[in-house]
Amino acid sequence: MDAAGKSQELNPHRPVRDCSQGTEVHLVVCVHGLDGNRADLRLLKMYIEMGLPEEQFEFLMSESNQDDTFADFDRMTDRLVQEIIYYVELLKLRPKKVSFIGHSLGNLIIRAALAKPAMGQFLGKLHTFLSLSGPHLGQLYNSSALVNTGLWVMQKWKKSNSLLQLSLRDHADPRQAFLYQLSKNPGLAMFRNVLLVGSLQDRYDVHHNLQTSANTLIGRAAHIAFLDSELFLEKFLMVSAVKYFK
C-alpha cells in the first residue's frame, strides 16, 4: 500500500495537514481493548478537546490491532509501535508531550510498547497515562466466578493467546510469563501523571446501572460500560481528569 492509501487507513475522516516544517503537538495515543476498534475511545477524545481547546492535540486512534485482539501481546505490541512511528513520520509531527489512553488489554499493550527500543525517542516526553478497566495484575487470582467463566469461554472460543497471557498460563514458570516480565519494566513510572480507573463490578470502584444481557452474565458489561457512558465520561473528564492532559 502506498503512503496516501495508508494515511487514509489510519485516519479516514481527517485530511492530512501540511506539515512540511513539522508540527509541535501533544500526541495522544488511544488504544482499544479486547475485541474493540478505533472508535471505542472517541468520546474521550471529544471531551478532552472540548475541555482544553487551547492545547494543540494530535490524536492517534489506534487501529493496528482491531482485527486481531486475541493474538499474543508481543505481536500486538509490535503492531502498535509500528503504527505510532509511521503516524508521527507521516504527519511530520514533533511531539512535545506524549500521552496514552487505554481500555482493557490495550493498557498492557501500551506498557509493553514503552519497552521497545523504537519508542525511546518518546520516553522523555511521556505526560499522562489514563487507564480504563486495565487488567494490570492479570487474572491469575481473580475471585469473580463470572469473570473467570467469561474468560474461559472466550479463550476456548477464540483460541486466544492474549487471554492465556492475562492468566499467566503462557509459560510453565509464572516468572517467565509475559505479564510477570512486563511488571519488571519501569513503564508507569515514566509518566508525569497516571490515572487508573475501573468499576466495582469490574473489580474496582465506579458503579454502573447495567441492563441484563449476555455481556452482563459473563462479566463483560461493566468492563466496557465506560466507553458508552457520555454522562460518566463528561463528568469524569471535565471535572477531574482533563487537567492532567494540560
Measuring CA to CA, how many Å separate 78 from each of 46, 63, 186, 217? Answer: 27, 13, 18, 33
Please tell me the predicted confidence (pLDDT) of residue 10.
Answer: 47
Euclidean distance between CA atoms 197 and 213, whole angstroms? 23
Measure CA 6 to chain center. Answer: 21
Res 148: pLDDT: 56
Are 18 and 90 contacting, i.e. CB atoms less than 8 angstroms apart? no
Per-residue pLDDT of the chain (246 residues; tens, 9 = 90+): 444 444 434 444 444 444 445 779 999 999 999 889 999 999 999 999 999 999 999 999 999 999 888 888 999 999 999 999 999 999 999 999 999 999 999 999 999 999 999 999 999 999 999 999 888 887 766 655 555 555 655 556 556 677 778 878 778 888 888 888 999 998 899 999 999 998 665 543 444 454 554 444 434 445 566 676 788 888 888 888 999 999
Taken in order of first residue, the domains within the chain and their CATH numbers are: 3-138+187-201+208-213+224-245 (3.40.50.1820)
Can you tell me the distance from the alpha carbon of 21 to that of 4, in angstroms, rounded to the nearest whole number?
19
C-alpha cell at 234: 463528561
pLDDT at 226: 63
Give the integer Cα–Cα distance in Å for 233 and 226.
Answer: 7
Question: Which residues, in sequence order, are CB contacts of 52 under 8 Å at separation 6+?
Answer: 242, 245, 246
pLDDT score for 230: 80
Helices (H) and strands (E) in the chain, counts: 10, 5
User: Up-side HSE of residue 8: CA atoms within 13 Å toward CB?
Assistant: 4
Amino acid 125: pLDDT: 97
Residue 124: how many other CB atoms lie within 10 Å: 8
CA distance 246 to 244: 6
- Count the neighbouring beta carbons within 10 Å of the beta carbon of residue 20: 7
pLDDT score recorded for residue 128:
98
So what's the pLDDT on residue 83?
Answer: 98
Quick one: pLDDT at residue 69? Answer: 84
**Which stretches of 18-143 are DSSP H helices?**
42-51, 73-90, 106-113
Round to whole Å and give the CA distance between 131 and 104. 8
Q: Say which residue the cell 476456548 belongs to.
A: 156
Q: How far apart are CA 28 and CA 67, in angstroms?
A: 21
Task: Give the pLDDT confidence score for residue 14 in this predicted structure.
Answer: 45
Measured distance CA(121)–CA(188) in Å, rounded: 17
